[in-house]
Amino acid sequence: MQKFMYLCSRNTEIYLISYSNTMQIYKANILFTKERDQFEVIPNGYIAVEKGRVVDIYEQLPSTLASQPVTDLGDKLLIPAMNDMHVHAPQYRNQGIAMDLELLPWLQNYTFPEESKYSDTRYAERMYRRFVRDLWRVGTMRTVAFATVHRDSTRLLMNLFLEAGMGACVGKVDMNRNCPKALCESVEEAVSDNETLIAEYAKPNALVSPIITPRFVPSCTPELLQACGDLARKYNLPVQSHLSENRNEIAWVKELEPESRHYGDAYRRYGLFGDTPTIMAHCVWTDGDELRMMREKQVMVAHCPTSNLNLASGMAPIRVFLNEGVPVGLGSDISGGHDLSIFKMMVYAIQVSKMRYCQDKSLPFLTLPEAFWIATKSAGQFFGKVGSFEPGYEFDALVIDDSELNHDNYSLLHRLERFIYLGDDRHITHRFCRGQLIAEPKI
């Protein structure tokens, strides 16, 4: 039996959108990136969705589907939803403050004191609800998030994603050195808390799942790194951490891990560098053997351009990663980054690549379809078949009402470009994850 939901668009038209498992067909201006360097554009096209996945896209509806009801989204744009590949959920409160500080005083004075508050699940709930609501607002339907060391508030965050119906890999952070006492844990505690959450959440095809999360080499002893690697291997779980963000950090890792050839190698030695699917945030200074190893192990770069600018880390060589075949996604990195919108990360990624291009004309800057592809299909592979509208892909999608921006008969490609550069959450009218229409999460 079908259930129906009535939605009111800003044009006061009423659309009928079903969220059952029977086939749904949406009609709209469909845009996505199957290939890295060009948009697929289907004006007034149809997309059929069944059991949460794309069946196919049609310029004209085939006769076999003629009896199916069609949800007509009018002149709106239908695009894949956004994926945020690196964000610190407990830094939500610090978003957009103390931006004049550099990394170390910022960690000591803002990051760590804030994370300490997450021992209190009531505080965590107040902040995490807003965080998930804000992800929803900006159209991010899949998130790879750092939580804190605290098991219970990490569980809470996972439950809030589940309650919202939005996909996420959530990491209980592991750390046991070079951090305040309140955030320091024993290796045994780390393993036990991780295993509790793994038992509860690690299921095949889960919408919300755990990810092994050693904070970064400087805050984890070799024993803890080894324990993290063992957990990843034992439960076949993905891994996330930070890599080669700034030069001081790299020098510090060299001191702490003298036997490693480079920062990436320090993760590899403990089974944390591509033995299971792995995301490394930043990689601003990655080159040489570290780069080669990322390609070989298909370690994904979570490129966080605003964070790199705000923390004066440098400019990650995204063109090099693309040329080398290293997978790349985009991350907001709240609160090193200040903007949660992955659309704005596309703009910044292009801009940073233009500054690199100024310095080295052999590295062409990112084009808009490339940035879009990175944010959607390239990033989405981390979650399975996510980030495209090809047959078999999970239907994660956004409906964009850009009528306010489209005041003079722009082409569909220019309309999408204007939404990416000028638009905001006001222009996103519907959000889908796995075929389900996602309502605004309660705060």
In whole angstroms, how close is the CB of 69 to its own copies at the nearest point? Answer: 35
| Nearest CB to its own copies, comparing residues 176 and 306 | 306
Nearest residue (CB) to its own copies, 290 versus 339: 339
Q: Is 258 helix (H, G, I), strand (E, B) or coil?
A: coil
Determine the Cα–Cα distance for residues 236 and 202; give it in Å rounded to an integer: 9
* Footprint on this chain of its own copies (rule: CB under 8 A): 93, 95-100, 127, 130, 306, 309-315, 338-339, 347, 350-351, 354-355, 357-358, 365, 367-368, 405, 407-408, 410, 414, 417-418, 420-422, 424
What is the closest distance, in whole angstroms, from the C-beta atom of residue 62 to its own copies in the complex? Answer: 34
How far is 370 from 357, CA to CA, in rounded Å? 15
Q: 390 near 54, Cβ under 8 Å?
A: yes
Q: Which two tokens stand for residue 352?
A: 């940073």
Q: In whole angstroms, how close is the CB of 340 to its own copies at the nearest point?
A: 9
Long-range contacts of range 178-184, CB-CB < 8 Å, 24 or more positions apart? 178/218, 178/219, 179/112, 179/215, 179/219, 180/112, 180/113, 180/116, 182/116, 182/119, 183/112, 183/115, 183/116, 183/148, 183/149
- Using an 8 Å Cβ cutoff, are 285 and 250 in contact? yes
Give the shortest CB-371-to-its own copies separation in angstroms.
10
Measured from the CB atom, the residue of 154 and 313 that comes closer to its own copies is 313
For residue 229, which of 129, 237, 14 has the smallest C-alpha distance? 237
Least separation in angstroms between CB 420 and its own copies: 8
- Shorter beta-carbon distance to its own copies: residue 257 or 417: 417
Instruction: Identify which of residues 34 and 354 has a Cβ nearer to its own copies in the complex.
Output: 354
Question: Smaller CB distance to its own copies: residue 251 or 355?
Answer: 355
In the complex, the smallest distance separating the C-beta of residue 10 from its own copies, rounded to whole angstroms, is: 15
C-alpha span between 195 and 373 (Å, rounded):
35
In terms of C-beta density within 10 A (0-12 exposed, 13-18 middle, 19 or more buried), how is residue 439 classed?
middle
The span from the CA of 308 to the CA of 316, in Å, is: 8
Shortest approach of its own copies to residue 234 CB, angstroms? 39
Tell me if residue 337 falls in helix, strand or coil: strand
1 vs 312 by CB, closer to its own copies = 312
